[in-house]
Amino acid sequence: MIYILIYIGVFVALIIVLTLWGKFDPKVKAENAKYEKSLEGKPNNKKIIHRSLDNTEVRTIMKKTEKTYHENGNIHIESELNEKGEEHGIKRIYHENGQLQVEVNYTNGIQDDGTTISYHDNGIKARQVILLNGKFNGEFSEWHENGQLKRNSFYESNMIHGVYKTWDNFGNLKNNFFKHKFIDTIDCEKFKPYDKEQRKVEEIEVDWLQDISPIYKKFINKNEITFTLQHTLDGEDEYISVFSTNEQKAKNIIDTIIENNGGFLAFESFESENWHYSYNGYLFNISYKIIIPEKLYVIELNRNTKMKWQNFNDSIVLYGIHKDSKKVNNLIKGLNSIVYNEGEMTSGGGQLFKAPDDSNLIVSYWDDLDKVVEKFKSIVDCYPENAFSQELLGENKEIKDFTYEAVEEIVNPSLWQITFKTEKFKINLSQGTSSYQMNINLT
């Protein structure tokens, strides 16, 4: 044991001697002095020479600092660089008013992994994100300038994937859905479009698509193709496009959009020249086109033609999906249907419309008795309460047999209706003059 301790002591002593030899060696000291003299007037640069254990000279490069400035004279970017001019060390970016925007660390031109926090020009936290293995991974958050949470989701190799939530600057929840990772996002403040007339990229909202976001006003960048949803409005033509790198991803994007907008039962497949995997829904049709085989595909969502409505009381006609559509579906179990604004109203297809003259009334008209009974039963079967049949000018009778055949038999005579009521809503199902009608009253 004592021999081992002796060997360790000798080894440590040898290291100390060699280190001091390298530090005080006249040749090394002279070269260091010569180098230091050459850097006079350049206080941000420094290089030191030391001697390694194998008696070879090694140069340790200290950093130099490079600065750029805003037009008002305040520092814009302050970066530490290595001998090759690569970012190496701390990099700070400042707002025009001098407030720190972000501070990150680099090693030989590559940003170090870790948590990055950026700030608005008023000092309020703007964004917090995690860099792992050179890419954004894990949970991230963004804040409005007043400190209210703006956005929260998860990154998976630079692509947002998972529960996606956004809030307005008053703290009201705007979006809450599962975002598909093949649909990308960008930083609107940093991304510069190629189109000279478009000074910045804008995030927008459309009233005919739900739970698919974010959507940007169409932009062009010559250096890269982004896999973002881009909106185009050309006269009465309105569409959204997004690129994909392969056919399966293109189909995955279409599947996700359809599943979040009524499901495949609400869409019909159709054939279209040069377009594939084509489906038509109530508000839009969707398909993909091959740009470069096995390399680039484009998916397009084309808004279906709006109907023209004229209101005689000068009130504004609303189109698209009603703002409370998801709230209504969360309220009524088994509904599973988009609620549209009155501007989209047609008869016979079974779509749900919020009545313009009554904010608590939702109406729907059905040509197919089987489908309206199926929808009615899908709701009632979720609750313990029973439905009642009522003959006009007659008494209510509780429906004991709630099989499909029994419900269909009750609805068929035009003088009968079925009523189902809970504490939160009431449904009336009846036969009209030209179609079956299912009305929902929210209480």
Angle between helices 404-411 and 369-380 (to 10 degrees): 120
**Whether 409 and 353 share a structural domain:** yes
Task: Give the Å distances, CA to CA, from 32 to 15, 20, 26, 168.
Answer: 22, 15, 10, 59
Among residues 32, 61, 90, the one where a domain terminates is 61
pTM over 0.85: no
Whether omega before 214 lies within 30 degrees of 0, making that bond cis, reads yes
**Beta-sheet pairing, 75-81 with 64-69:** antiparallel
Quote the pLDDT of residue 293.
93
The three-class DSSP label of residue 164 is: strand
336 shares a domain with 294? no
Closest CA to 218 of 286, 144, 279, 300: 300
- Checking if the pLDDT of 165 tops 80, the result is yes
Task: Report the alpha-carbon angle 82-86-88, nearest 5.
Answer: 55
Mean pLDDT of the chain: 82
For residue 272, give the DSSP letter: B
Average pLDDT over residues 56-76: 76
Band of pLDDT at residue 209, cut at 50, 70 and 90: very high
Give the DSSP H/E element, type plus range, for residue 405.
helix 404-411
- On whether residue 380 sits in a domain, the answer given is yes
Q: Is 216 inside any structural domain? A: yes
- Supply the pLDDT for residue 313: 62
* From 109-118, 208-217, 421-430, the region with the lowest mean pLDDT: 208-217
Distance CA 248, CA 258 (A): 15
Does the residue 199 lie in any domain? yes
Q: Are 286 and 300 in contact (CB under 8 A)?
A: yes
* Residue at 40 is within a domain: yes
CA distance 367 to 434: 8
Q: What is the pLDDT of residue 339?
A: 95
Give dist(CA 305, CA 107) in Å, integer: 55
Whether residue 103 has pLDDT greater than 50: yes
Q: How many CB atoms lie within 10 A of CB 56?
A: 8
Higher-pLDDT residue of 173 and 397 is 173
Confidence of residue 289 (pLDDT cuts 50, 70, 90): very high
Measured distance CA(120)–CA(315) in Å, rounded: 41
Q: Are 277 and 342 part of one and the same domain?
A: no
Do 279 and 357 lie in a common domain? no
Residue where one domain finishes, among candidates 251, 276, 305: 305
346 and 281 in a common domain: no
Expressed in angstroms, the distance from the first to the final Cα of the chain is 87
> Is 215 within 8 Å of 204 (Cβ atoms)?
yes
24-28 average pLDDT score? 51
Tokens of 323: 């703002």
Residue 40, pLDDT > 50, answer no
Residues 242 and 346 placed together within one structural domain of the fold: no
Query: For residue 311, is it within any domain?
Result: no
Q: Is residue 327 over pLDDT 80?
A: yes
Domain stop point among 46, 61, 76? 61
pLDDT of residue 8: 57
Taking only the tens place, the pLDDT of each residue in 227-282 is: 889 999 988 899 999 999 999 999 999 999 999 899 999 999 999 999 999 999 99
Q: Note whether 392 and 431 are same-domain residues.
A: yes
Q: State the total domains in the chain.
A: 3
pLDDT digits (tens, 9 = 90+) for 378-394: 999 999 888 888 765 56
Q: Specify the DSSP class assigned to residue 219.
A: -
Is it the case that residue 31 has pLDDT exceeding 80? no
| pLDDT tens track for 104-126 | 999 999 999 999 999 999 999 99
Is the same domain home to 281 and 379? Answer: no
Give 6's pLDDT tier (boundaries 50, 70, 90): low
Domain check: are 282 and 331 in the same one? no
Q: How confident is the model at residue 117, as a pLDDT?
A: 96
Residue 73 falls within a domain, yes or no?
no
Q: Is 155 inside a domain boundary?
A: no
Percentage above 90 pLDDT, the chain:
50
Task: Indicate the Cα dihedral angle 292, 293, 298, 300, nearest 10°.
Answer: 130
Same domain, 266 and 352: no
* Contact present, 87 and 79 (Cβ < 8 Å): yes
Query: Same domain for 229 and 292?
Result: yes
The beta strands (E) that lie in 56-148 are given as 57-61, 64-69, 75-81, 87-94, 100-107, 110-111, 114-119, 125-132, 135-136, 138-143
Residue 297 is predicted with a pLDDT of 95
Q: Provide the domain limits for residue 20.
A: 2-61
pLDDT of residue 276: 97
Q: What is the pLDDT of residue 127?
A: 95
Band (1; pLDDT cuts 50, 70, 90): low
- Confidence band, pLDDT 50/70/90 cuts, at residue 355: confident
**Comparison of pLDDT for 341 and 221, the residue scoring more:** 341
Q: What is the DSSP string of 319-372?
A: -SB-TTHHHHHHHSTT---PEEPGGG--SSB--EEE-TT-TTEEE-EES-HHHH
Cα–Cα dist 281/85, whole Å: 56
pLDDT at 342 over 60: yes
Which has more confidence, 215 or 42?
215
The answer to whether position 286 is within a domain reads yes
Rg over alpha carbons for the chain, rounded to the nearest Å, is 33
pLDDT given for residue 58 in this prediction: 44
Question: How far lies 314's CA from each of 38, 309, 310, 346, 355, in Å?
Answer: 81, 11, 8, 21, 16
Task: Give the position of tokens 């988009």.
Answer: 338
Distances (CA, A) of 410 to 194, 313, 404, 439: 64, 39, 10, 17
Asked if residue 297 and residue 344 are part of one domain, the reply reads no
Nearest alpha carbon to residue 88 among 115, 70, 65: 65
